[in-house]
Structure formats: C-alpha cells, structure tokens
Amino acid sequence: MDSIELRVSVFGGRREGRIFLKGVKDPNEIDSERVNELVKEALSRGCRRVSIYVVTSDLTAGQVLEALRPVIKGHIYPSMSVWVLDEETLKSVEEEVNVYG
C-alpha cells in the first residue's frame, strides 16, 4: 500500500471524515485496526459521516469488504461508506457525494 490518510472535509456545514487507502495491492495490506483508529479520530473531530476510499486495481470488492468487516461492523453511530475504485474514478468523487439519504 502506498499511503493511508484521514482528511476532514466540510460539506454543507457537515463534517465528513474521508479515509484514503491508496495503492492497495494485497488484502493483507488493509490494517483494519489502523482504519479503526482513523475512524475514531474522525469521530473525535466532530465527523458523523466517514467515507473510506480504497484505491486499488488489484483487489475485488469482496476482498476489501472482508478486510474492513471489523471496521464496518464495529461502529454503529457514524454513517459510513466504503468505495472500491481506481485512481481515475477517485478523481470523479473528490467533491461531496452524499449517498446517505
């Protein structure tokens, strides 16, 4: 994996934590504990929505969801989304994408 990073963005007055995992080539590179820490940090910084972007050309969606299961099932309060996409597609979702209703 090339990098893992948390960014806090403000969309329509609402803080959203965005976690980027870039260049993931192997499911074992996804450290769910580290992602969990970042989710907690986002929550502590006032985010009630957390979006996780896994940028990969090598992993299937199933592999990503399996690796992130402890994160997704571990938090009941924030709204959460998991994106599995390549670099090109990531550019198209850089602005706010509100999928939470």
Partner 1 sequence: MVETYDVILSTDRSLMTNHHGNEFLGFGTTMPLILPRKFIQWLFAPPMKHKKGIVWEAPYGIRRTEAALLAAGIKTAVVDPDWVGKYLEAGAKVLVLRHHDWFGLNPPTSTWTVFIDAEPLNVVLFREFMENVMKLRDRLDFKLVVAGPAVWQWLHLSNKVDEYRVDAIVDSNGDREDWAVVKVVQRLLNGLPVPKYIKIGITDSVPIDKIVPIRHASVNGLVEIGLGCPRGCSFCSVGGRPLRWYPLDFIEEEIKVNVREGQKSGILSATDILLYGSSTIYPNAEAVLKVNRLAKKYWECVGWSHITIAAALTNKKLIRDLHDLLVDCEKQKFIGVEIGVESGSVKIMKKHMAAKPAPFPVERWPEVVEEGFALLHENEIIPASTLVVGLPGEEEDDVIATTELVKRLRPYRSLIVPMFFVPMGPSRLGRETWFRKLRPYHVDLLMACLEHDVYWAKNLLENYLGGLKMAPVKKAIGWFVGLVEKSMPRIRESLMNLVEKAMEAEKGGAGTPSAPQVSEVPITQTHH
Alpha-carbon gap, residue 30 to 48, rounded angstroms:
23
Of positions 11, 31, 89, 94, contacts partner 1 by CB under 8 A: 89
Nearer to partner 1, 25 or 61 (CB): 61
Of positions 74, 94, 95, 96, contacts partner 1 by CB under 8 A: 74
Task: Tell me how far CA of residue 74 lies from CA of 33, 36, 64, 79, 88, in angstroms.
Answer: 11, 8, 16, 12, 30
Q: What is the x/- site pattern for partner 1, positions 46-65, by CB under 8 A?
A: --xx-x--------xxxxxx
Of positions 24, 38, 39, 80, contacts partner 1 by CB under 8 A: 80
Q: Measuring CA to CA, which residue among 61, 51, 40, 56 is closest to residue 81?
A: 51
Q: Measuring CA to CA, which residue among 68, 61, 73 is closest to residue 28?
A: 68
Binding site for partner 1 (CB under 8 A): 48-49, 51, 60-66, 69-70, 72-74, 76-85, 89, 92-93, 97-101
